[in-house]
Amino acid sequence: MLGTSRAGNVAEVAMKVLVREGATTLSHRVIDRLLANAAVEMVPLDAGVADVIVDLRVGDHDGLARRRSSATVEGEALMEEVRRVNAGRVVMLSSSLVYGPHANSRIPITEDEVIRPEASFVFARQLSSVEHVLDRWRRGSDDRSVAVLRPTVTMGLGASSSLARALAAGSGRRLGDEEPPAQFLHIDDLAAAVETVVVSEYDGVVNVAPDGWVPGDRVRALLGRRWQIPVPRWVREQLWALQWRFQRGPIPPGLGPYTTTSWVVANDRLKSLGWTSSVTNEQTFVEGTESPWWASITPKRRQELALGGAVVGIVIAASAIVVIGVRAFRLQRQR
């Protein structure tokens, strides 16, 4: 970033950066990177002036749930903060979920694709609305710029959100069907992408994803599910829905279509800025899903599982009684 010294000479000056973070693992890693970058001067949240606002709250699904907020509300708070500190540039973390799961999308999806989030998935729709608000703000002055990062499913050891876990749980599990490919981004690579976009002063949308993707059958193999059941489609749908329902939760309504249709994205634009991924899709998936499934289950889901187990137990017991009764009746008749 260029500035003018007291002597009137043009020189490099550190850009003043304010980070709106949600006390998450990603936030900590982004802040650590920016603090270590000589081109950046971090300013506190109560600072009166900032050149750049980096927002990590609008796209933080779990943080929004904890705060009982929404992407729309956080988007409004972001714009208030922009006006308060008179920032000329905004870097916002969104999600590639805004592209939506559509069979007619060209794979891999580039940043030029029109965003069409799943209508029943409120979080993705709200993210797209905030992106539109920022775009209108940018067009209001030639001195403004906006960078929007759209990462794919982001995971890491002990740092996978409930949204990422649900999407991972839904991948590779559609019994008997051809699986769509999937992508899994490591949280460290996302933090590096945020730093790259901030320092490069990039203006526009950029996808964040590792190179390539994982074929659906490979995802199933990583999950340890190599078998398929030759049953009617409607039975497979019911089995899959029941199976996914009792994965780690909670599972947001409208997320299901994202597990049945491919929405993998291209990363060429980000790589042109000098960013490279350090962890592959498969490595990230294994690391992000290696903890026991019950380790992150919520109390509500435990209760649901307990009730579900009780129902299954009753059905099994009833079936056993019926079988025993039938056998006893047959033996009695043979006598």
Q: Which residue has the higher pLDDT, 174 or 84?
A: 84
Whole domain around residue 177: which residue ranges? 2-297
- Between CA 197 and CA 155 the distance in angstroms is 20
The residues near 180 (Cβ < 8 Å, ≥ 6 apart) are 216, 259, 260, 261, 262
290 and 308 housed in the same domain: no
Q: DSSP for 190-223?
A: HHHHHHHHHHHT--EEEEE--SS-B-HHHHHHHT
Local structure of 72: helix, strand or coil: helix
307 and 275 housed in the same domain: no
Residue 7: pLDDT band with limits 50, 70, 90: very low
89 and 108 housed in the same domain: yes
Two structure tokens written together for 77: 């708070």
% of the chain residues with pLDDT over 70: 73
Q: How many other CB atoms sit within 10 Å of the CB of residue 297?
A: 16
Mean pLDDT computed over 195-211: 98
Q: What is the per-residue pLDDT across 42-83, written as a single tens digit (0 to 9) for each?
A: 999 998 999 999 999 999 999 999 999 999 999 999 999 999
pTM of the model: 0.81
- For residue 225, is pLDDT > 80? no
Question: What angle (nearest 5°) sits at the alpha carbon of residue 91, between those of residues 53 and 73?
Answer: 75
245 and 274 housed in the same domain: yes
186 and 311 housed in the same domain: no
Total domains in the chain come to 2
Q: How many other CB atoms sit within 10 Å of the CB of residue 193?
A: 25
206 and 314 housed in the same domain: no
53 and 175 housed in the same domain: yes
Residue 6: pLDDT band with limits 50, 70, 90: very low
305 and 238 housed in the same domain: no
**pLDDT computed for residue 117 by the predictor:** 97
312 and 188 housed in the same domain: no
84 and 178 housed in the same domain: yes
Two structure tokens written together for 29: 């890693």
247 and 309 housed in the same domain: no
